[in-house]
Amino acid sequence: MGEAAWPSLPDCFFIRRGVILNLFKRLRRGNLGDNIFGFVVLLFGVSILVIMAGIVFQLWLQSAPSREKFGWSFLWSTAYDVQRQNYGAGVFIYGTLVTAFIALILAAPVGVGIAAYLVEIAPRRLNRVVGSMVELLAAVPSIVYGLWGFYALNPFLRDYIAPPLQAVLGWLPPFSGEFVGTSVFTASVVLAIMILPTVAAVSRDVLRAVPDAQREAMLALGATRWEMFSRAVLPYAKSGVLGAAILGLGRAAGETMAVTFIIGNNPQIFKSLFGQGATIASEIAAKWQEASGLTLPVLMELGLVLFAITIIINISARLLVMLLVRGPRGGLRA
């Protein structure tokens, strides 16, 4: 068997020599059914590339009127004037980044903690229970998070968490001001809960990829479990854990419905976290059904900006995780 029976089709299709030449060669040599099948699944594989390219192309196309009118200044302009038809993405980019970063600051330590618990501590049976719970947390629909965040979490944060925070940190601008009905703060906490499964799951995979030899080396030097984790495991897994966190950041930046429900959709550069704000995604969702004229291309351009932000975040995160899990040290998911 081996090579002769299993020629990797695209190997000869795309790399060794010309595409067409090889297609004909293989058609003459190989089984016709094999060739057709290989070609069909290849088309489906390529369709994923087509969709991705299509997303960029469509958003670019649909946002043309907005791009032509506002130019590059759309990206930083904080204008948002419906009367004068003057729009900018600045306010929404600000809202997106601030909520996503707060969510990340809240979720990253807990997510890595869960991963550490699952990999270094948990007895196997408990491991399954906690693992499933985290999985189900990822399955709860965004809109249900929104409803729960609005009616259940927001009053709780307003009555029990915000007052002590303000008592201690109230002199800082982000914690000053009145806790209004809906808030950036609540939206960020809900986002943190929503990205927790992502951060935890990827961190768990990354920590599992750390070879046990590293753990044993540290333990044999007389380290406690915490010292083993903080001095051998974490430094080894550093880039992957960072990747997990950034992946969570990407999730938070793109999350729509929960934020739309909670944040108040008030296009302003908020100074207090207890005030209202808006994110790119929440603005698109909230304004779509009344959009007309120029607002439609404006929303499309906002979508393009959101796409660019999340793609940059995602690709950098994946590269970091790949660096560790596939490993320059040849350490495949050991």
- Please give the residues from 153 up to 192 whose contact with other proteins meets the rule CB under 8 A: none
Does the protein bind other proteins through residue 18 (CB under 8 A)? no
Q: Which of 89, 306, 324, 325 binds other proteins (CB under 8 A)?
A: 306
Does the protein bind other proteins through residue 94 (CB under 8 A)? no
Q: Identify whether the C-beta of residue 13 lies closer than 8 Å to the C-beta of residue 22.
A: yes
Does the protein bind other proteins through residue 113 (CB under 8 A)? yes
Environment class of residue 50 by beta-carbon count within 10 Å: exposed (0-12), middle (13-18) or buried (19+)?
exposed
Of residues 28 and 84, the one with the C-beta less far from other proteins: 28
Q: Choose the stretch contacting other proteins; rule: CB under 8 A; options: 77-85, 172-180, 221-229, 270-278.
A: 221-229
Q: Which of 21, 64, 105, 133 binds other proteins (CB under 8 A)?
A: 133
Q: How far is the CB of 220 from other proteins (least distance, A)?
A: 4
Q: Which of 84, 160, 289, 293 binds other proteins (CB under 8 A)?
A: 289
Does the protein bind other proteins through residue 315 (CB under 8 A)? yes
What is the C-alpha separation between 67 and 300, in angstroms, rounded?
A: 10
What is the C-alpha separation between 263 and 282, in angstroms, rounded?
A: 8
Of residues 91 and 192, the one with the C-beta less far from other proteins: 192
295-325 and 234-254 helices, crossing angle to 10°: 160
Q: Identify whether the C-beta of residue 263 lies closer than 8 Å to the C-beta of residue 279.
A: yes
Of residues 89 and 232, the one with the C-beta less far from other proteins: 232
Does the protein bind other proteins through residue 31 (CB under 8 A)? yes
Which residue in this structure is represented by tokens 């979508």? 303
Of residues 27 and 177, the one with the C-beta less far from other proteins: 27
Q: Which of 206, 218, 245, 273 binds other proteins (CB under 8 A)?
A: 218
Q: Which of 102, 298, 313, 325 binds other proteins (CB under 8 A)?
A: 313
Q: Which of 21, 58, 173, 181 binds other proteins (CB under 8 A)?
A: 58
What is the C-alpha separation between 219 and 325, in angstroms, rounded?
A: 23
Q: How far is the CB of 84 from other proteins (least distance, A)?
A: 25
Q: Which of 134, 184, 242, 325 binds other proteins (CB under 8 A)?
A: 134
